[in-house]
Each structure stands twice: as structure tokens, then as C-alpha cells.
Amino acid sequence: SRAHLLDLQRQANELVKAEAARMRNVDYVDVFTPMLGADGQPRPELFVDDRLHMSRKGYELWRDVVSPYLR
């Protein structure tokens, strides 16, 4: 689990989002936020028992978020 790194991950995502906004033909796709519960913590059902690697549900969420951006 990398729960202790959540704030750092948020900061990194904001930097990537800002950089993407400056570039042509680049979209920032936020897969981080949908993976968090109402408490701001990673949703357990999206990870296998090690709480590090994604479960099938986690990959399905990614697919659903990312697929509209693919051509």
C-alpha cells in the first residue's frame, strides 16, 4: 500500500495536469480521483489483497475512464 504517498500523488497529478493543459493534442485523464472513496482513500475493492496492485474491478474502472479518449 502507498496510502502514505496520497498527498504527494495528488501534487504530482496536478503538475502533470497543468503541463498537459499547455500542450496541443494532449488530454489529462484523471484515473486517480475515481479510485478514491468518499473518505479520500483508495477504494479497497479496486485492489487485490496486497493493496498495491489493481484488481479486475480496478482495471475495469480504468478502461471505463480512459476508453472515451482513445481513437
Please report, for the chain, the start and end positions of each structural domain, with discontinuous segments joined by +: 3-69
Please report which confidence band the pLDDT of residue 3 belongs to, taking 50, 70 and 90 as the band edges.
Answer: confident
Residue with cell 484488481: 55
By three-state DSSP, how is residue 68 classified? Answer: helix
The string of pLDDT tens digits covering residues 34-63 is 999 999 999 999 999 999 999 999 999 999
Euclidean distance between CA atoms 35 and 40, whole angstroms: 9
**What would the grid cell of residue 4 be?**
502514505
pLDDT above 80 (res 1)? no
Q: Which amino acid is at 25?
A: N
